[in-house]
Amino acid sequence: MNVIEKDAAAIEVTTGNDVKNVLIVGVGGQGVIMVSKVLALICQDQGHNVKQSEVHGMAKRGGTVFSHVRFGEKVWSPTIPKGKADILLAMEWAEGLRWLNHLKKKTGTLIADTQHIVPPFACLDRTRGASSGYTTQLPGDILENLHDGYALDATGIATEIGNFRVSNTVLLGTLSAILDFPVEIWRKVISEMVPPATIDLNLKAFDAGRSWVEESRKVGKAPEAKPEKKAKKQAPAPKVDSKPVDKDFELVLTPEWCKGCDICVKVCPERCLILNAEHKVELSKPDACTGCRICEWLCPDFAIDVVKDATKTNQTSASA
């Protein structure tokens, strides 16, 4: 058996106080792992003990992806405890919010791409007037309460440079301006990591992200990248009471006209229609019906009507 004796002084060194924590988050397919690998390689090159930890089982299916990078004299835990990240690098706005509580409250720095990737799950509410379930919190609300924060339209910058996919390299540029490593090593590692044909593009993206921070420092405060543009999916819903309203429509079935083709049964997104024993359409789950009208559109025999009751809401078509 190995016995390691330590005096109190030696133990001090290993308490993790000198360890820097960078949490990198985003959506599957954005290159979170790639960004964290670049950072980990740089840290190691600079003589640090490094751990980089990710869980990427579902990374390719559009789910949340995150990667912990920790470096210092001696790193124990591969993961960053909540409230202990020095830097939170978010490649998508809502992902930044999701992990915000991992950031050190008093001294943490947020770097976030302001682009919105609205998950399909945020677009499932079929009730009238429902708005998307994406977050409504904007960079301005968050940055002003942060010790240090940078919100930039990295995807927009990358698109201008030539390919939206290098937004991750733009963010690496931003990160490079905040971490104290020589700029050459960033450029070197990036050049080694990317496909050779894209080195120039990536270095350009890197420079753009880096100079964005320098510019913003000159101005004195981080300029906020036009959230209006990127927040376009946040267009306000037509004025409808946000509490579940009484149903303002009724599904009117005319069984005499129904010939039992079952098209409506198949297409109903909420599965609330059935064919009864007489092979006539029947509303089996009235509460589930959202009045989406797809059965009405598709019934070849006009046996279904979604009748709006105008007395319950004065909402009219908001179509542009």
Partner 1 sequence: MNYQSNADSAKSAGKTGSKNNNRPMTGNEAIARGAWEAGVRVGAAYPGTPSTEIMENLATYPVEDVKAQWSTNEKVACDVAIGASFAGARAMTSMKHVGMNVASDAFMSKTYIGVNAGLVLIVCDDPGIHSSQNEQDSRYYSRLSMMPTLEPSDAQEALDFTKLAFDLSEQFDTPVMVRGTTRLSHTRSAVQVNERNDVPMREFVENPDKNVMIPSNARTGHPRLIKREEALQEFLNSSDLTRLEKGSSKIGVITLSTAYTYVKEVLPEANVLKLGCSYPLPDETIKKFADSVDRLFIVEELEPIIEKEILAMGIKVEGKEFFSRMGEFSPESVRDSFVQAGVLEAEEDAADWDVYAPPRPPVLCAGCPHISSYMSLRGLDARVAGDIGCYTLAAVKPLSSIDTCVAMGSSIGNAIGMAKAGGQVRPIVATIGDSTMLHSGIPPLIDAVYNNVNITVVLLDNHITAMTGGQNHAATGKNLAGEETHRVDFAALFEAIGVQWVKQVDSYDLGAMLQTFREATEFKGVSVVISDRPCVLDPVKIRGETMMVRSENCTACQSCMNLGCPAIGWSDEWYDGHHKVEINAEACIGCSMCAQVCSTNSIVSVPK
**Token pair 């677009």: residue:** 123
Please, how many CA atoms are within 13 Å of residue 109, restricted to the half-sphere of its CB? 16
Minimum distance between the CB of residue 218 and partner 1, rounded to whole angstroms?
27
Rounded distance between C-alpha atoms, residue 25 and residue 27, angstroms? 7
Nearest-approach distance from CB 31 to partner 1, in angstroms: 5
Q: Which two tokens stand for residue 198?
A: 């894209």
Residue 129 three-state SS: coil
Minimum distance, C-beta of residue 32 to partner 1, in the bound complex (Å): 9
Q: Which is nearer to partner 1, 185 or 265 (CB)?
A: 265
Look up tokens 């509303």; give the residue: 283
Closer CB to partner 1, 52 or 176, in the complex: 52
Chain centroid to Cα 54, Å, comes to 17
Residue 153: CB minimum distance to partner 1, A: 16
Q: Which residues neighbour 108 within 8 Å (Cβ) at sequence distance 6 or greater?
A: 85, 86, 87, 88, 146, 147, 148
**Closer Cβ to partner 1, 134 or 150, answer by number:** 134
Nearer to partner 1, 68 or 253 (CB): 68
User: Least separation, in Å, of the C-beta of 74 and partner 1?
Assistant: 9
Under a CB-based contact definition with an 8 Å cutoff, are residues 290 and 127 in contact?
Answer: yes
Please name which of 108, 23, 110, 25 lies closest in space to residue 71, comparing C-alpha atoms: 23
Decide whether 51 or 210 has the Cβ nearer to partner 1: 51
CA gap 300, 65 in Å, rounded? 46
Closer residue to partner 1, CB minimum distance, 130 or 185: 130
Q: How far is the CB of 3 from partner 1 (least distance, A)?
A: 5
Shortest distance, CB of residue 291 to partner 1, whole angstroms?
8
Minimum separation from the CB atom of position 274 to partner 1 (A): 8
Give the dihedral of Cα atoms 150, 154, 156, 162; nearest 10 deg: 150
Termini Cα distance of the chain: 76
Tokens of 208: 């753009």
Q: Phi/psi at 112 (nearest 5 deg)?
A: -135, 135
CA atoms lying within 13 Å on the CB side of residue 214: 9
- Dihedral (CA of 201, 207, 212, 215) sign: negative
Closer residue to partner 1 (CB): 16 or 260: 16
Nearest to partner 1 of 73, 217 (CB atom):
73
Q: How far apart are CA 108 and CA 249, in angstroms?
A: 50
